[in-house]
Amino acid sequence: MAHRVRLTAVLEQVARESIAAVEGGRLVRAALAGRAAGQQVVWAAGKAAAAMARGAACALGDDLTAGLVIDKAPHEPIARVRMRVAAHPLPDASSVAAGRALYAEASRLDPQDRALLLLSGGASSLLGAPLDGVPLAVLSDATRLLQRGGATIQEINIVRRHLGLVLGGRLAAAARGRIEVLALSDVVGDDPAAIGSGPASPDPSSLADALAAARRFALPETVLAALGSAAETPKPGDPLFARVTYRILANPHSLLAAAEAAVARAGLIANARTELVHGTLDALVEELADAARALAPGEVRIAVGEPTLEVRGDGLGGRAQHLALRLAERLAGGDLAFVACGSDGSDGPTPAAGAAVDGETIAAARARGLDPAGALARYDAHPLLTAVGATLVTGPTGTNLTDLFLLGRAA
């Protein structure tokens, strides 16, 4: 028993170290180091917004003349920067206000002005102001139904880009000044149009693509009508994007490399899945179960990415916790441990980033009169994992580079 407890603790520490290595504030400070003096407006949106803005404030000093930060959680104030809290994963009235506030800021830029846009995943919802004339419920319903229906992030973003006031390049279109984007990528392929639904990037998708996705997932007629009446988003080749520069500071592969280094520091053997996870959660469960059988003592299989999950129950949980409980069933009685966590510190509508399970998790749950199979059927992993002390709570991490998965065998 002792070696399984120790391995779980080691993997938790590896996860924390990996995420800390790609903290957004640190990356922004490094990117702006040695920057020539010049007044600059700073905007930040996403789950790592406050951390990234703090890094910019440190690097720019008095050259930061004004700023707007839109994050999902309250943070300590930053000099000359307004802080707004908005909703995630579904936009609400606070998201509408935040998106409109950023749109207004962009509209006030003069041609000689410079804005630094710090972008991270989650911005799509946090900036969830719909187009004029489109009710918030339309954008919110579309997002919710696509997420619960197992749509890929690409499909979700195609629809959101065509319904959002500042998404799909519309923020850049509203601005006459120059915009420099520094981004943390949480998407496969690092597509700028997909990161935060691309507020300052050309949109390669079309309204026809958005309507096709909406029909594929049987979205309500209100969504189809809104898409049918929407104007097309700015496209690649539009001269307005000559005013925009774009740089990705870190991506899921950065998180993978940080995890490999942390595993090595822990005295274990890193075995990295170089291709990002992007299929279904069911497929990932089978893949990890196969990997578990092949792991040598002291070896850790590392993967990053975001499997899709179609939610059919009304329980409380998230993608990482559901995966952890699914895998706990496969590990029962053995000498392996598994950690799954969101690098941003959140997993679904719960206070946990994910969970850490091992060969005793299922037995511990049953000893407390809990039913793992029933919890999975209800998509209700969080209460059970909390009851057995298996949830992993980090709080906001200041980064967002997709999910991290660690599967190890005791040495």
Q: Does pLDDT of 385 surpass 90?
A: yes
Does residue 313 have a pLDDT over 80? yes
pLDDT digits (tens, 9 = 90+) for 101-131: 999 999 999 999 999 999 999 999 999 999 9
Give the rounded percent of residues in the chain with a pLDDT score beyond 90: 91
Closest CA to 206 of 171, 175, 230: 230
Are 205 and 258 members of one domain?
no
Reply yes or no on whether the pLDDT at 5 is more than 50: no
Q: Which two tokens stand for residue 252?
A: 């899921």
| CA separation for the pair 392, 353 (Å, rounded) | 6
According to the model, what pLDDT value does residue 351 have?
A: 95
Q: Determine if residue 83 is left, alpha or beta; phi over 0 gives left, psi from -120 to 50 gives alpha, anything else beta.
A: beta
Last residue in a domain, options 201, 230, 250: 250
Are residues 335 and 226 part of one domain? no
Can you tell me the distance from the alpha carbon of 81 to that of 65, in angstroms, rounded to the nearest whole number? 8
CA distance 385 to 31: 39
Q: What is the pLDDT of residue 4?
A: 44
- Residues 219, 260, single domain; the answer is no
In a domain, 49, yes or no: yes
Same domain, 127 and 259: no
> Within 10 A of 268 (CB to CB), how many other CB atoms are there?
22
Q: Report the SS3 class of residue 145.
A: helix
**Residue 31 CB partners (closer than 8 Å, separation 6+):** 182, 247, 249
Q: What is the pLDDT of residues 47-101, one digit of tens each?
A: 999 999 999 999 999 999 999 999 999 999 999 999 999 999 899 999 999 999 9
Check pLDDT > 60 for residue 396: yes
CA dihedral 170, 172, 174, 178 (to 10 degrees): 180
Q: What is the pLDDT of residue 2?
A: 40
Residues 6+ apart with CB under 8 A from 287: none
> How does residue 171 score in pLDDT terms, banded at 50, 70 and 90?
very high
| 15 and 80 housed in the same domain | no
250, 270, 297 - which closes a domain:
250
Tell me the CATH number at 160. Answer: 3.40.50.10180
Q: From residue 364, how far is each of 303, 331, 369, 390 by CA, in Å?
A: 27, 13, 9, 10
Q: Are 330 and 285 in contact (CB under 8 A)?
A: yes
* Mean pLDDT, residues 213-224: 97
The domain tally of the chain equals 2
Nearest to 128 by CA among 233, 194, 46: 46
What average pLDDT does the chain have?
95
Is residue 71 included in any domain, yes or no? yes
Phi, then psi, of 158 in degrees rounded to 5: -60, -45
pLDDT tens-digit readout, 298-309: 999 999 999 999
What is the arithmetic mean of pLDDT over 184-204?
Answer: 95
Domain boundary residue among 250, 277, 311? Answer: 250
Residues 312, 402 within the same domain:
yes
Q: Name the percent of the chain lying above pLDDT 70.
A: 98
Residue 25 lies in a domain: no
The stretch 253-269 carries a mean pLDDT of 98
> Is residue 26 situated within a structural domain?
no
DSSP string over 24-88? HHHHHHHHHTTPPP--EEEEEESTTHHHHHHHHHHHHGGGEEEEEEEESS----BTTEEEEE--S
The structure tokens listed for 53 are 């803005």
pLDDT exceeds 60 at position 1? no
- Specify whether 380 is located in the same domain as 303: yes
pLDDT digits (tens, 9 = 90+) for 334-367: 999 999 999 999 999 999 999 999 999 999 999 9
Q: What is the C-alpha radius of gyration for the chain, rounded to an integer number of angstroms? A: 21
Q: 267 and 246 in one domain?
A: no
Query: Would you say how long the chain is, in residues?
Result: 411
CA nearest to 16, candidates 408, 284, 406, 407 = 406
Q: Outline where DSSP puts E strands in 120-257.
A: 178-184, 244-250
Query: Per DSSP, what are the bridge partners of residue 184?
Result: 250
**Helix (H, G, I), strand (E, B), or coil: what is residue 278?**
coil
Residue 389 has pLDDT above 60, yes or no: yes
- Specify if 28 maps to a domain: no
Name every residue whose Cβ is closer than 8 Å to that of residue 395 and which is 6 or more positions away in sequence: 345
Domain that holds residue 41: 34-250
**364 is a domain residue:** yes
Residue 344 lies in a domain: yes
